[in-house]
Amino acid sequence: MDRSTTNEFTTQTATDPVPAARRAEMLANPGFGKYLTDHMVTISYSAEQGWHDAKIGPRSDLTLNPSTMVLHYAGEIFEGMKAYPMPDGGGALFRPQANARRFNKSAERLAMAQLPEDSFVAAVRELVRIDRDWIPSGGEAALYLRPFMIGTEIAIGNHPSDSFQFIVIASPVGSYFKGGVSGVSVWVSENFTRAAPGGTGAAKCGGNYAAALAAQKEGAAQGCEQVLFLDAVERRWVEELAGMNVFFVFEDGSIQTPPLTGTILPGITRDSLITLARDRGRTVREEPYAIDQWRADLESGRLVEVFACGTAAVVAPIAQIKGRDFDLTIGSGGMGPVTAELRKALTDIQFGRAEDPHGWVDRVF
Ligand SMILES: *Cc1c(COP(=O)(O)O)cnc(C)c1O
């Protein structure tokens, strides 16, 4: 079996890239995921050839046979990361090896092929290099990178796919929330859960997001922007939002976040914030937190700030929590001082404004 090297990419430059003036317009007001860059990376996998045909080329549509497995059985995993503009005009990734590692864990859970970590990182770096003019600057704008993999075997029968396509696309992004970083409102779903023990909650797969949308819709009908999921067994323990982890800040300055027991997505932002908070001498507990405790702690004043975190939105304060029989405001409804401190500590490293004591910043150019 010839498992050819996948770190050398055949490069074909786009012949009709977006004109510079139009690109500048897009970068000035990128939204989130509205525009894609000129190029994409693709690497193919087959049982016979292993990973092969690593290419960087003009972004193009995919052509799929209607019986392609991903279209029927949701064999899809993805990652979300950003290339940040550096003060000296360069560009850098943030902990890309962690994304590569998590990608393979997701692949394992969905019975998909393992992509060597260095191929994953090389693919992302190649795309950032060729589309470097698409990295926006100013505020917290960055180039969002979306590596993903689909099962491409042509078969209606359900079994692990024997072929895969790994793809990386990129999109310039501004602030994730339209209203900037003012507090978000959160609906506590009683009717839906996101992940059960033994399920796919810790895998970054499209299916988890598809299954969360009905809850999202339910929350929107209640005037809430996000949904908070409780554990599937007792319907009591706080897990996370559909795409963000959650942190609690207490009166004594300590911080708590639910532990990674297999039903929560192990966020890289979550992990980085735990480290940064401990660096600053804060006590951080990775311990379960019950919804009834949350309500009691809000009423007693012991709980002072709550925030959600993830690569896309970075750190977003949660200002309001609403359920079937309660509706509570957290703090002043805006960004609390500890949330602001941790958010700044993280973004200062990501954007190259502060020292990087943990070696998280990976310069691409
Ligand atoms: C991606 C994701 C997160 C955040 O992970 P980061 O690595 O911090 O971006 C949290 N929860 C879910 C369900 C996710 O898919």
pLDDT at 177: 66
Q: Which of 208, 240, 245, 275 to mutate to test the pocket of ligand 1 (most atoms within 8 A of CB)?
A: 245
Distance 174 CA to ligand 1 centre (A): 18
Domain coordinates in residue numbering, the chain: 10-173, 184-350
List, for the chain, all residue ranges whose pLDDT scores fall below the cut of 70: 1-6, 177-181
pTM of the model: 0.96
Structure tokens at 153: 């075997």
Identify the three-state secondary structure at position 284. strand
d(Cα 272, Cα 98) in Å, to the nearest integer? 11
pLDDT digits (tens, 9 = 90+) for 270-285: 999 999 999 999 999 9
Best mutation site among 173, 244, 263, 307 for ligand 1 pocket (most ligand atoms within 8 Å of CB): 244
Q: What are the b/e assignments for 238-257, b being 16+ CB within 10 Å?
A: bbbbbbbbbbbbbeeeebbb
Atom number in ligand 1 closest to CA 102:
7
Q: Which is the closest atom of ligand 1 to the Cα of 201?
A: 13
Give 271 Cα–ligand 1 centroid separation in angstroms.
11
Residues with CB under 6 A from ligand 1: 80, 204, 240, 243-245, 265, 267-270, 310-311
Which residue shows structure tokens 């503009």? 85
pLDDT in tens, 182-234: 789 999 999 999 999 999 999 999 999 999 999 999 999 999 999 999 999 99
How confident is the model at residue 221, as a pLDDT? Answer: 97
Give the pLDDT confidence score for residue 175 in this predicted structure: 79
Distance CA 56, CA 53 (A): 10
Task: Give me the pLDDT at residue 1, please.
Answer: 37
Question: Quick one: fold of 10-173?
Answer: D-amino Acid Aminotransferase; Chain A, domain 1 (3.30.470)
> What is the pLDDT, as a whole number, of residue 2?
40
Q: What pLDDT score was predicted for residue 3? A: 46
Which CATH code of 3.40.50.1360, 3.20.10.10, 3.40.50.12780, 3.40.50.2000 fits the domain covering 184-350?
3.20.10.10
- 246: tokens are 């959650």
